[in-house]
Amino acid sequence: MSVRVRFAPSPTGKLHVGSARTALFNWFFAKHHHGTFILRIEDTDQKRSNPAFLDDIYASLKFLDIRADEGPYFQSQRLSIYQEHVKKLLALGTAVEQDGAVMFNVPPGQVTFQDLLRGPITVDTTLFETLVLMKSDGQPTYNFACVVDDALMTISHVIRGDDHIANTPKQVVLYQALGFPLPIFAHIPLIVGADRARLSKRFGATSVDEYRQVGYLPEAFVNYLALLGWAPGGNRELVSPQEIIELFDLARVRKAAAQFDQRKLDWLNGQYLKRTPVPILADLLAERLIAKGLLTSSYDRPRFERIAALLQGRLRVLEDIEEEHLFFFQDPPVYQDEAVNQFLTPEGVAPRLLALKERLSRLSTFETSVLEETTRAMIAEQQLQSKELIHPVRVAVTGRAVSPPLFEVMSILGKDAVLQRLEYAATTLAKGMNRSTR
């Protein structure tokens, strides 16, 4: 059998994480079997459809590196096809017109379909509500258009969320009425939040775009979504898209709902960031900062690569660079009020900062090792505890109580910036005057 699958989103909202996972499972299945992946846009709801949401679907699929082999097809452009098949059912007497709509007379009895994950499922058709084929506004209903499109596009496997299980028996009777062969159905588990309910904004972001904007790497995001309901075997967690394609098998898809774990996604993304070559990571970070006006396009490339290398093991997402490390790009930095109060205002801090500034000003090189040696020599001479000088210096030069390794940070910032910040911290912040807050 030639494998042909489809992903059929509606442009009525941003692409949901659950829909993205469905798209990926279809993509993996098609590529594993050297089959065809079709993109179909279900846009018959003209009131709710929005071109901006269509653009979001395209951007999200590009982010996931999913490329359609066929399509996109638009249901809004296939109205004559649906009308043609409605006429067949009207002629057969299995459909009737009623108040401008076309209704399907469901024959009483039982309908059974085979689900790849759950086995045979049997439903009593007397439990169905009335099946509408065409609404009074002339637009086809979801179930009818879906059956016609899947049949005419010779879809071999319908892989979709298990929230569609209730639709499938209704579609089966329409397949039978139209004389179409049934595809193979596979209903994959939904993604749920920490409350075990369907993933919603209550537990964070729900659209692919939100994750793309804050700086999750595509490979990490795809890897994580693949693990929601599927396992590669061997307790593996880092699996490349190509490996997933090679290993993907619907038999390994679990029936139980998959819980979205933000901490697991963050950890996985951090692992991918650590494996990203520094020049590429620098490009990704610089692109974000330039777009936000925090870095000029003529930035110092060697210096920026030092920053990328220093932050590589500390980043959760790319956004962390503008959330936690802007002191590299803002002068003066934004000082955290709590850090200033705790580390700069105690008695004796200001003279120490000025004394260190004087020592550093005499240095002919600002290398990391020299900075550390000079600072620790002063600590020893004045019989201080390390934290009595290092913590205030950290706040003085970064504005924060926590930062990457201090002496490497100081070396990257450079002599002029460090001396200016030590002076400002000692003469202004340590005295509690004109303090900016965050």
Q: Tokens standing for 409?
A: 């940070």
Query: What span, in angstroms and rounded, lies between the C-alpha atoms of 105 and 199?
Result: 36
Please list the active-site residues: 201
d(C-alpha 94, C-alpha 178), whole Å = 10
**Is-contact 396 422, C-beta < 8 A?**
yes
**419, 357 Cβ separation under 8 angstroms:** yes
Give one DSSP letter per residue of 264-326, joined into a string.
HHHHHHHHHHHTS-HHHHHHHHHHHHHHTTSS-TT--HHHHHHHHHHHTTT-SSTTHHHHH-G
In terms of Cβ atoms closer than 10 Å to its own Cβ (0-12, 13-18, 19+), residue 117 is middle
How far apart, in Å, are the Cα atoms of 357 and each of 377, 381, 393? 13, 16, 10
The Cα 147–Cα 95 span in angstroms is: 15
Q: Tell which residue, 413, 401, 421, 216, has the closest CA to residue 307.
A: 413
What is the C-alpha to C-alpha distance for residues 37 and 155, in angstroms, rounded to an integer? 10
Contacting residues for 44 by C-beta, under 8 A, at least 6 apart: 75, 76, 139, 140, 142, 145
Specify whether the CB–CB gap between 90 and 97 falls below 8 A: yes
DSSP annotation of 412: H
Pairing of strands 4-7, 184-188: unpaired
Closest to 343 in 3D by CA, of 386, 383, 379, 396:
396
